[in-house]
Structure 1
Amino acid sequence: MKNNPFWKYFGFISIVVTIFLVIIYQFDSFKPDILLSITGFIYMALATVGFYFLSLKALNSTNKMAFIQLVMFNVIFKIVGFMIIAAVYFKLVHPQQKFFIVPFLIIYFIYTIFETIFIYNLSLKKS
């Protein structure tokens, strides 16, 4: 696990997202909604790590469809989770800016792209 490239790239992506958050929240218009972005950051980091461990297990499964099923579940889990987080935040906080969701979505896309590339490469190695 120490030499596993997942952790190196995951750490790099997490640092990139942290730097992005620090930069974007220098602007006063985004400051009131930092809680949403931090929540999204934690959610995506945990979901990505969880998906990574489950994908290792699915790739070694005797069920040939386990990996495909896991990918489909992961997509639905993350989309629904993000929608719920955004809806609850909107309902409780009533954000004043109409672009409050932009940093939240950028975090989603950064982690999703990372996860897609890494898991694709992982599945190629298994084949």
Structure 2
Amino acid sequence: MRSFLDAGVVLPGSSDAPVVASDPLLSIHDMVNRRTASGAPIGPDEAVTAREALYATRSVRRTRCTRSESRALSPGSCSPTSVLSDDLLGVPADRIGELTVGATVVGGRIAHDTGALKVS
């Protein structure tokens, strides 16, 4: 990933779901930590920062890479917003995969909430 990013290639940050887990937090964790499931380093020089990985997984960025902008974006549409259990950019890199999604808002409507949102 680092070589692509340094060469100016847009990182899609997507998965091969359903072959692997589609959890974007695990994808970010793997892009940052570059370890196999057993914990062995795999291409550590290809690691990216948490901020770079987060940017790669944003839906707008992903759709641009897969050329599906017209299906994913429309006038007035809003990108999904998620509330995480901790600060993705502030936790130690090895904890990124432990984060959970407490709530997701899509188009101004709550799509998922485990009690993370305080709606009055």
Q: Normalising by structure 2, what TM-score?
A: 0.31
From the two aligned structures, give the one with the greater helix fraction: 1
Normalising by structure 1, we get a TM-score of 0.30
Highest relative contact order (Cα 8 Å, sep 6+), 1 or 2? 1
Q: Comparing both structures, which one devotes a greater share of its residues to strand?
A: 2
